[in-house]
Amino acid sequence: MPDNKQIREQIEYALSQFARGALLPSALDMFAALGYHSDRRVPLSPNTPDEFIVHFGTELFNNANALTAEWRSVDLVFQLTDDEIETAGQTRMFEEDRKFDRGRVKSYLVFAIELSQPSYSRTKLAQITREINKLFPTPVLVLFRHGETLTLSVIDRRPHKRDT
């Protein structure tokens, strides 16, 4: 098992690859360095906003709010479930429970989006993240690359008001 120094070096190397490499392989390498890997993937070909909408879109999705005109690419990195987290040596994160626990979900989806402008406000990135999250019952983490910046975005999920 690698020590903390080796893990830190792997993470630093994976992060450095974003400057040189394509977004999806760089994202896969970064998450692997962090201990997360999953073969649960749906390749988008081509990896365009239109293809994203064909695969995942519904009437809930608002292209204008999601700023899809500014997406250079979009990829589903993977779906991360309890099985993948357990194999990474972590404890069970998605155990069954009878009550809603806002800290527990069954899985996460991770998307990577390349944006066209060099910088985006936190508000704009959150807006895109909210639009994508409307499409899925499970939380979606979005890794954005814009200019020389990487941003990992996730929203807080809450139960519907009708849920106990």
The pLDDT value recorded for residue 102 is 43
pTM of the model: 0.84
Q: What is the token pair recorded at 129?
A: 């993240």
pLDDT value for 127: 97
Q: Quick one: which of 67, 70, 76, 17 has its CA closest to 45?
A: 76
Per-position pLDDT tens, the chain of length 164: 678 899 999 999 999 999 988 999 999 999 999 989 899 898 999 999 999 999 998 888 999 999 999 999 999 999 988 776 655 555 444 455 444 344 456 788 999 999 999 999 999 999 999 999 999 988 999 999 999 999 999 987 666 555 55
What was the pLDDT predicted at 1?
Answer: 63
Predicted local confidence at residue 72, as pLDDT: 97
Under 8 Å between Cβ of 32 and 14: yes
Parallel, antiparallel or unpaired: strands 107-115 and 140-146: parallel
Q: What's the one-letter identity of residue 87?
A: T
**For residue 28, which of 90, 66, 84 has the smallest C-alpha distance?**
84
What pLDDT is stored for residue 65 in this prediction? 95
